[in-house]
Structure 1
Amino acid sequence: MKARFRPSLAATAALVALASTSAPVDAQEQVPWTPLNRGSDNIEVLGHLPLGPRLSVADMDVEQEMNRPFAYVSRMVYGDEGPKGLDIISIADPEQPELLYEWRIEDQDLHQRTGGMDVKHFKWNDRYYVVQSLQFGQGGPDTDLGAVVLDVTGLPDASQVEEVARIRAPDMPGGFHNIFIYKHANGRVYLFTTASGPGALIYDLGMVVEGDLDNARVGMVPVGTADGSGGYHDFYVGYHPDTDEDRFYGGGTGGYYIYDVSDVTDPQLRITLTNVSGVSYGHTFTPSPDGRYVIAETEYQYAPLRIFDLQPALDGQQQNISSPISAFTANWKNLVHNHEVRWPYVFVSGYLDGLQIFNLQDPINPITVGYYDTYLGPPNTDRYSMFNGAFGVDVRNEDGLIVISDMSTGLWTFRMDGFQGWNGESWGYPDISSAQDWDAPARRPITFDDDADAPGGN
């Protein structure tokens, strides 16, 4: 089934102005958005799997290997409805997603607050795992529980899914909100996670699954504010080819911060994006494959995605960047949310505006190239009005499959005409995205203050 196009908005610097479509169309030919015309002609809806009560679906993650066609969807409680845990879904046939397995925290009614929020997978020593972040509040059990780790090597046989670890942070109760898993240049696999503390915690997942939980926390990325106070909301970690550094891109108190985490025990601040008009707290923050441009989200109504050019900082002319070069939003009345960069495309889960895709080949002029509205219901009346609809987004690089988790309507699979997969080198960029190469050899030896304390290699 195809969808039709609805115009979106883009902004330059702090101003939001109308953007052109990918292929200019005479205004008389454009079909207005209606519930029967929910998206653009170049977006094909492949499949849809409802997953339960409204506002019970959070973030999601897709494995990248074609022989492991699995999507992981976080399940949360909002109000009195919804489970607390994780769903595992087969997308072997993207037109017919199939629920394979449900993991739920025991004693659902006793556990307070959200439950599952963010989810990521990884590979270690030829086995596959998924990490589900968890948040439980005071008044119930497991307030110190940050995540559960499941061995999912045996999928699609759900009977072989096994819980192997629970990561706790008793010194920072409240759980983990957002997580990112990164295959480091030293060969280790690290979990970066938010917590109720002044920075992002770093866990060695090899140590976690091998049972050394007591020593698995190996570092913390501080917040780059003047006094080091505050915390992070979301982040991305990726290799930066020009400097041969593993770089952390975090949004949180005061704006956005970029650290060199080549030595996870001693992160070094490289670039700040603070004193940005309209940004007091950064959220999702993602770079282009070469690390020059960054897409930055902040969470309030009317806020667009801001696009920043880091070149002056990369050239050493200044450390702080405070002015965006452009911005994107689907509807200025709403709010765009999580995003995945597959240069030059940015795939966005836009809450009430569903899937949004824009082209950033000219970073000063973001151009909408496709969209589909996954949620047709009313705005949220319990929290801020935009908090409903498309929440998580992921892209499978091998074949270009696009997957959305919608808070109230479930899991969706899509294809975009002309996008059959992604490799950065096809666009003259490094082949770097949130997708990890689990089998890549270490690029440099592990760095620790005391080599005797270094964990073993992969």
Structure 2
Amino acid sequence: MKQTFFYLLFACSFLYSQESLNMDLVSNLSYSQGTNDIWGYADGSNEYALVGTVTGFSVVDVSDPSDPYELFFIEGSSSTWRDIKNWGKYAYVTTEASDGLLIVDLSDLTGQTYVYTDEFFTTSHNIYIDENGYAYIFGTDTGNGGAIILDLTEDPMNPTLAGVFDDYYLHDGMVRGDTLWGSAIYAGVFSIIDVSDKTSPVIMSSYPTSCNFTHNAWISDDNNYLFTTDEQAGCYVGAYDVSDIYDIQEIDLIQEWTGDGAMGSQENVIPHNTHVFGDYLVTSYYTSGVTVIDASDPFNLIEVAYYDTSPMSGGNFDGCWGAYPYLPSGLILATDQQEGLFVLHTPYGNYEGLGCTDSNASNYDSTAIINDGSCVFIGCTDSNAENFNPSANEDDGSCEYFCDNFDISIPTCENNIIINYGETALLNCEGSSLIFLDTNNNILSIGSNAYTTDPLYENTSFLVSAEEVVETSTINTGEFEHEGQGQNADYSGTIYNGGLLFDCFQTFNLNSLKVYTDYPGERTIELRSYNGSLIEELLVNIPQTDSNGYVIDLDWEVVPGNQYLITTNTQMNNDNFGDNNPMLKRTTGGLPDFPFTVNNVLEITEGYYSQGNGDSGSSPDYYYYFYDWEVSYDRTCVSDTQLINVTIANIDLDENKSNKSIIKIIDVLGRDTQKKSLCIKIYSDGSVEKRFTLK
């Protein structure tokens, strides 16, 4: 065994000014080389930082957090990447250098008890150990680099192979119970994998993250929400509702603080790893340091604390690599690649400066520094109004409506109709475009000037109004133009054919739309119904486009219905471009602004993608292909309603006016009857009468 020591300098202060909010520096331990991953360990009385460095593994005593010191260092091959986890008193360290797996017995704090093994792999990117003592090694140099599963329970210093997931590469992952939440970074998705049978893991579901570069994922304590990072400049910490893994929903995205760093702006910073700690997310955020997000409401993530560990700024991979929040003391351990180990304190759940920070809100608080979601915006909240304010959350009664400017005549109808019991009624009105309703405003008929009711057994009222076309409007909707971030962002993977889902509430004409591409050639544009049936198609030879795009004239009439899909023909894509992808540009990276709505006419809800093998999905993070929709539709107004009363005539020729009551009606054979027939009425006083009953 070998042990290498090197000098460390304890930094009491910095030469640059750290930006921070609700987080304080306890201490900082600098290294003479770069650091990478961080994990923690506690033995019941003391706390330790497990630090990865470029050339090895460092164990630091942080029991006195103001005075951390290194206990021992185990040398390894040089690598930017190391990852560390522990199973009880044993630490396991992976690296992308050719060291295999380092296993360290932490009960020996001299650092003399450890072993390197390359029995199962030589290099790997990451490791996670579940509560049952299984280690999952991700991104190894074997197979596709999925996950090698090792059993640590029998002999922690000599693990055995339990199974392998090798369907595709996983960059990272975490496991709870029998579920592996894998980060397939190059596929841009998180995968939900059943590992109840370690020898045969099964993919149950997957879902794309906002920037298509899923770096890590961590499940909430109740297993209902997953939080992810995408390791690209300007990307997000994302929240996903995974309570139904077959109907996953993205529910919120958040970026790091955007103040000025010590050496420049904090825009376009890269998130690295996020960890769930109760109601909070603790995230290492490269040049922005460490951030804490309140995720008690996963639909409304709020950044409540941060500490900038790095003098660097912008969208590069310098700065904070990892942050560990699970020490019993509640302290956060963080490793900055250039600045070393940080011990930080933050008052979880007791943050200062909460309030409404939006100066446009009626309850703006100039002293607040963290927006707590309490902002009140006053305005018209009715989406049907001409002056609808989508930002308003409190209505002020100011709504104005298009049809207030038109006077539509109330229809003239035959009223006070009398029918016999059980008969239908014919409702007749003057006009050609009428709407018949019941008194609960349920539509019974549209367009005709007459309506025949169902059989009626009691007095019933109906409502009638007239509808009139007062204007034909043409409007543009959808993303106006393509926005992208270069080749990889402009085009999805070649296996994907995309499109847009939309709902139609009123008949409209889709006149035209626009596409962008660097690849000229023929495509077939398709309109399909919710069940996949083809409604319209158009073969188009699309040239290479400039920034103005290429307009495709369609002239398609769309009638009311839900979940329409506009897409391209997969077979033609395969014939012309070698795979499912039509090689038309899309918009992603947090730029799409779904939904796109034309009030009471249509709503473009989200992007759709399919791999052509039956696997498909949808997401508001992707806007596929079809920009600047031009649509025409009739604007109609409706009159006030006319009331029509239908009365049931009383034609019983034998009205009972005595005090006696009928207890039974039978026919001549003694059978119960209520129908029109010769019958016998038996009264409560014992009398009997024969009558022919018409009702």
Q: TM-score, normalised by structure 1?
A: 0.66
Which residue matches 1:151? 105
Change (3 A) 1:337 1:59: same
2:320 and 2:337 in contact (8 A); partners too: yes
Equivalent residue for 1:220, pick from 164, 167, 177: 164
Report the alpha carbon displacement of residue 210 of structure 1 after superposing the two structures with TM: 5.2
Change (3 A) 1:101 1:49: same
1:354 and 1:390 in contact (8 A); partners too: yes
Report the alpha carbon displacement of residue 407 of structure 1 after superposing the two structures with TM: 0.7
User: How does 1:414-453 map onto structure 2 within 5 Å?
Assistant: 414-418=344-348
Amino acid at match of 2:105: D
User: How does 1:29-68 map onto structure 2 within 5 Å?
Assistant: 35-36=16-17, 38-40=19-21, 42-53=22-33, 56-68=34-46
Report the alpha carbon displacement of residue 208 of structure 1 after superposing the two structures with TM: 5.6
Which residue matches 1:120? 85
Equivalent residue for 2:198, pick from 264, 271, 289: 264
Report the alpha carbon displacement of residue 419 of structure 1 after superposing the two structures with TM: 5.8
* Distance in structure 2 (CA, Å) of the matches to 1:117 and 1:311: 33
RMSD over aligned Cα, in angstroms?
Answer: 2.3
1:402 and 2:340 equivalent?
A: no
Report the alpha carbon displacement of residue 403 of structure 1 after superposing the two structures with TM: 0.8
Amino acid at match of 2:321: F
Which residue matches 1:201? 148
Change (3 A) 1:194 1:303: same
* Distance in structure 1 (CA, Å) of the matches to 2:205 and 2:325: 28
Change (3 A) 1:357 1:38: same
Equivalent residue for 1:351, pick from 279, 282, 286: 286
Equivalent residue for 2:250, pick from 324, 344, 361: 324
Equivalent residue for 1:234, pick from 162, 165, 172: 172
* Distance in structure 2 (CA, Å) of the matches to 1:50 and 1:390: 13
Change (3 A) 1:271 1:291: farther
Amino acid at match of 2:250: P
Which residue matches 2:481? none
Amino acid at match of 1:257: S
2:326 and 2:332 in contact (8 A); partners too: yes
* Distance in structure 2 (CA, Å) of the matches to 1:352 and 1:346: 18
1:405 and 1:411 in contact (8 A); partners too: yes
Report the alpha carbon displacement of residue 312 of structure 1 after superposing the two structures with TM: 3.5
Amino acid at match of 2:244: P
Which residue matches 1:135? 96
Report the alpha carbon displacement of residue 346 of structure 1 after superposing the two structures with TM: 0.3
2:238 and 2:252 in contact (8 A); partners too: yes
1:306 and 2:238 equivalent?
A: yes
Which residue matches 1:449? none
Change (3 A) 1:389 1:37: closer
Change (3 A) 1:210 1:57: closer
* Distance in structure 1 (CA, Å) of the matches to 2:28 and 2:268: 27
Change (3 A) 1:298 1:377: closer
* Distance in structure 1 (CA, Å) of the matches to 2:310 and 2:157: 42
Q: Deviations over 1:320-368 (max 9, x none)?
A: 63x5211111145111111110121000111000010010112121111
* Distance in structure 2 (CA, Å) of the matches to 1:236 and 1:206: 18
* Secondary structure at the counterpart of residue 300 of structure 1: coil
Report the alpha carbon displacement of residue 263 of structure 1 after superposing the two structures with TM: 2.4
* Distance in structure 1 (CA, Å) of the matches to 2:287 and 2:42: 27
Runs of 5+ unmatched residues, structure 1 = 1-33, 77-83, 106-110, 137-142, 223-227, 240-245, 314-318, 380-384, 421-458
1:162 and 2:126 equivalent?
A: no
Report the alpha carbon displacement of residue 260 of structure 1 after superposing the two structures with TM: 2.1
Change (3 A) 1:265 1:192: same
2:237 and 2:254 in contact (8 A); partners too: yes
Change (3 A) 1:277 1:183: closer
Which residue matches 1:86? 57
Equivalent residue for 2:227, pick from 295, 310, 313: 295
* Distance in structure 2 (CA, Å) of the matches to 1:414 and 1:89: 15
* Distance in structure 1 (CA, Å) of the matches to 2:332 and 2:61: 14
Report the alpha carbon displacement of residue 147 of structure 1 after superposing the two structures with TM: 1.4
Which residue matches 1:377? 312
* Distance in structure 2 (CA, Å) of the matches to 1:67 and 1:191: 29
1:132 and 1:147 in contact (8 A); partners too: yes
Report the alpha carbon displacement of residue 231 of structure 1 after superposing the two structures with TM: 0.1
1:86 and 1:116 in contact (8 A); partners too: no
1:103 and 2:70 equivalent?
A: no
Change (3 A) 1:66 1:339: farther
1:48 and 1:410 in contact (8 A); partners too: yes
2:87 and 2:129 in contact (8 A); partners too: yes
1:86 and 1:102 in contact (8 A); partners too: yes
Q: Deviations over 1:395-430 (max 9, x none)?
A: 13522111101111011111112469xxxxxxxxxx
1:183 and 2:131 equivalent?
A: yes
Equivalent residue for 1:336, pick from 271, 288, 292: 271
Q: Deviations over 1:4-49 (max 9, x none)?
A: xxxxxxxxxxxxxxxxxxxxxxxxxxxxxx9535101x21211110
**Higher RCO, 1 vs 2 (CA within 8 Å, ≥6 residues apart):** 1
Instruction: Please identify the structure whose Cα radius of gyration is greater.
Output: 2
Amino acid at match of 2:173: F
* Distance in structure 2 (CA, Å) of the matches to 1:353 and 1:154: 36
Report the alpha carbon displacement of residue 237 of structure 1 after superposing the two structures with TM: 0.9
Stretches (4+) displaced over 4 A: none
1:60 and 1:392 in contact (8 A); partners too: yes
Report the alpha carbon displacement of residue 258 of structure 1 after superposing the two structures with TM: 1.1
Report the alpha carbon displacement of residue 182 of structure 1 after superposing the two structures with TM: 1.5
Equivalent residue for 2:211, pick from 252, 272, 278: 278
Amino acid at match of 1:326: D
* Distance in structure 1 (CA, Å) of the matches to 2:318 and 2:155: 34
Amino acid at match of 2:190: Y
Amino acid at match of 2:131: K
Change (3 A) 1:101 1:210: closer
Amino acid at match of 2:24: E
Change (3 A) 1:358 1:289: same
